[in-house]
Amino acid sequence: MVARVSERKTITSEDIDPRHDWQRPLGAPGVMNVDFEERVDFRRLHRYRLARARQALKNSELGALLVFDNNNIRYLTSTAIGEWARDKMCRFAVLAGDGEPHLWDFGSAAAHHRIYAPWLQPICCHAGMVGLRGTVPPDAGLIKRAALEIKAVLDENGVGKMPLGVDVVEPPMLFELQRLGIDVRDGQQTLLDAREIKSRDEIMLLNTAASMVDGVYQMIYEQLKPGVRESDIVARVNKMLYEMGSDDVEAVNAVAGERCSPHPHNFTDRIVRPGDQAFFDIIQAYMGYRTCYYRTFSVGKATPPQHDAYRKAREWMDAAIERVRPGVGTDQIAAVFPKAQEFGFPDEMEAFALQFGHGLGVALHERPIISRLVSFDKPYEIKAGMVFALETYCPATDGRSAARIEEEVVVTDKGCEIITLFPAQELPIANEY
């Protein structure tokens, strides 16, 4: 069973609301820490995230949160053990009432945290294992043991009879928790409530992550030429980002030529040819904070249909950005996007994510979601401190090319500021001839 936590850490008003001063420029100071200027304060970041989660928990009907998603684990505990853990369901954490977060980590990682993560109480760092996606079957007893330990934390913090919010869960764990009489409910909405407003440290991390991709697009612009494969660009992007300090290159879409329309959302070994239109999406994280950042290029030269498609995609983008400010509804932004039928799709479901907005943070998709599919029926208010990406897509009349643009914006007290700075007002021509 889990031993009692002897003390609580004090949370101050500064922890709950360390917002950016909108009178000052958004910082992207680099990936090193220094003693001669204030950069990211990671302990302040941890206090802020924990305070936001506790407040969201208090605002809900839940007594505790149980999280298996690595992004939520990092948000609550400021721990990470590598991208390999993303789909293993091998780590979990509990935040119960006003108590300290408890973390169950993979084998010796728990011992490592007791030494190197002093913001967590050592007694709250446990070794845990629930079966690695069923490869150890439930009848081995690991899930039952974990459920009993979770129940002990809930009872210790006085919330054992209150609903437990869970983000994602394997069926055997769900069934075991229910067998113990725990009322299991959806905890994702509570955690998304917590994560929607970014502190100044989070904004600085997101801006730094975007600055890394700025540099990557300069490399792509210089190297995108006939004979290079989509997969070659993907390899070079991965190498450059990890050299710059990325901790997770989640995905790189590289789409060229006839593959541009319709958008396949992947990459292949296709060889780039003269006159191709090509677009890229770079999804990576610096200190856990992610980018989603598209740019489109033409290779060597551009045709009138390619220029026209890019111009339309840019007009839709600029119209959306113009509407971003606190108090605006997501329906008002989605209204400037073209209807699915206007760019060749039968309905909004099939066109989903082509004219799109989505929050960014420790996860690729946070609040708000902006789309003609969902935003008219369930509009969401834009708030200062949100960070999100806006994406547009326009197929060309040649039947093969397409333009794809994405900008990341920080919502300020009066409007928004773009943090994706590689030039995109006009169609870039790579290696023009």
* Ordered structural domains, the chain, with CATH: 13-195 (3.40.350.10), 200-430 (3.90.230.10)
Of the CA atoms within 13 Å of residue 35, those in its CB half-sphere come to 0
Distances (CA, A) of 431 to 44, 186, 238, 259, 319: 45, 51, 22, 21, 30
Contact 143, 177 (CB under 8 A): no
The predicted pLDDT at position 5 comes to: 57
Secondary structure E strands in 43-177: 64-67, 92-96, 102-105, 125-127, 164-166
The average pLDDT across 53-59 equals 97
How confident is the prediction for the chain on average, in pLDDT?
A: 95
* Residue 20 predicted with pLDDT over 50: yes
Over residues 36-54, the mean pLDDT reads 95
256: helix, strand or coil? strand
pLDDT of 15 above 80: no
Closest among 402, 403, 346, 395 to 373, alpha carbons compared: 346
Mean pLDDT in residue range 363-381: 97
Distance separating alpha carbons of residues 264 and 254, to the nearest angstrom: 10
pLDDT at 107: 93
Integer Cα distance of 232 and 160 in angstroms:
53
d(CA 208, CA 65): 30
Q: Which residues, in sequence order, are CB contacts of 427 under 8 Å at separation 6+?
A: 296, 297, 298, 302, 306, 307, 310, 311, 403
Residue 83's pLDDT is 85
Q: For residue range 234-291, what is the model confidence (pLDDT) as tens digits?
A: 999 999 999 999 999 999 999 999 999 999 999 999 999 999 999 999 999 999 999 9
At 186 the pLDDT is 98
What confidence category does residue 30 fall into, taking pLDDT thresholds of 50, 70 and 90? confident
DSSP 278-316: EEEEEEEEETTEE--EEEEEEES---HHHHHHHHHHHHH
Band of the pLDDT at 177, cuts 50, 70, 90? very high
pLDDT for the residue 23: 85
303-324 pLDDT, tens digit per residue, is: 999 999 999 999 999 999 999 9
Reported pTM: 0.95
What pLDDT band is residue 1 in, cutting at 50, 70 and 90? Answer: very low
pLDDT 10s digits, 397-410: 999 999 999 999 99
Is residue 96 scored above 60 in pLDDT? yes
